[in-house]
């Protein structure tokens, strides 16, 4: 029976380093669920999350490679940081949404959840649209909150794109077309942060699909 394990591999940087590591993982029947190259010079530090039957045997075989200096088993990012909520937009609105999200996440994390909150103040249609699309590529990202006074155009299409990939999008009640494209629209920024956390927390009895209203 396979189990999720996480480890960091440190070794000689250079062409073929990752290929040798993944070759060992394949031989153990491991399924790589996440990988991140954190440094490449002077040594390479690569983080893996792998579904594998025997994590100890896999780590021992990785240590046997000539290019590997050290293998460190660690707790997975899912276990430590859990689900991620991303808040982006104008600095003042982002800060207010973060107050609600962090306060609510603390309440659920005390009860065994793992929810983290990331923020980035951004302005401009193109930078925001690119950032929205990038959220779908972030590991463990479950929800995006758009906090601003005016968003539309390319940002609206980016919202529709990431929603189609399964990302929950919450918008403040603002000017522009983004609220029409979001899953949920909330006027009060603090409440927007609270409701977003409730929507992704397993310890909360709150489901957006069951709401009769979409705008609050």
pLDDT tens string 21-74:
999 999 999 999 988 888 777 888 999 999 999 999 999 999 999 999 999 999
| pTM (2 d.p.) | 0.83
Radius of gyration of the chain (CA): 20
* Edge-to-edge strand list for the sheet holding 68-74: 31-39, 43-52, 3-12, 68-74
pLDDT value of position 134 = 95
| Residue 158 and residue 90 share a domain | yes
Q: Residue 31's beta-bridge partner residues?
A: 51
CA-based nearest residue to 143, from 78, 196, 82, 192: 196
pLDDT value of position 1 = 59
| Residue 103 and residue 27 share a domain | no
| Domain tally, the chain | 2
pLDDT value of position 216 = 83
| Residue 87 and residue 67 share a domain | no
- For residues 126 and 44, the model is more confident at 126
**How far is C-alpha 55 from the geometric centre of its chain's CA atoms?**
25
Residue 216 lies in a domain: no
Residue 46 belongs to domain spanning:
3-76
**Structure tokens of 86?**
């991303």
């Amino acid at each position: 029976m396979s189990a999720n394990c996480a480890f960091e591999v440190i070794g000689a940087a250079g062409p073929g380093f990752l290929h040798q590591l993944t070759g060992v993982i394949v031989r153990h029947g491991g399924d790589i669920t996440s990988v991140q190259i954190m440094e490449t010079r002077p040594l390479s530090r690569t983080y893996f999350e792998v579904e594998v039957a025997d994590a100890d045997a896999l780590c021992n075989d990785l240590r046997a490679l000539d290019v590997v200096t050290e293998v460190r088993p660690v707790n997975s990012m899912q276990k430590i940081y859990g689900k991620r909520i991303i808040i982006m937009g104008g600095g003042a609105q982002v800060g207010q949404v973060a107050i609600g999200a962090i306060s609510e996440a603390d309440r659920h994390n005390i009860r065994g959840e793992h929810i983290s909150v990331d923020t980035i103040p951004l302005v401009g249609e193109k930078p925001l649209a690119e950032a929205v699309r990038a959220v779908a590529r972030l590991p463990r990202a479950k929800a995006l909150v758009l906090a601003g006074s005016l968003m539309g155009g390319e940002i609206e299409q980016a919202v529709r794109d990431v929603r189609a990939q399964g990302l929950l999008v919450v918008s403040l009640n603002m000017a522009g077309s983004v609220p029409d494209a979001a899953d949920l629209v909330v006027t009060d920024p603090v409440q927007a942060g609270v409701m977003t956390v409730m929507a992704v927390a397993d310890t909360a009895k709150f489901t957006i699909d069951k709401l009769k209203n979409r705008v609050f």
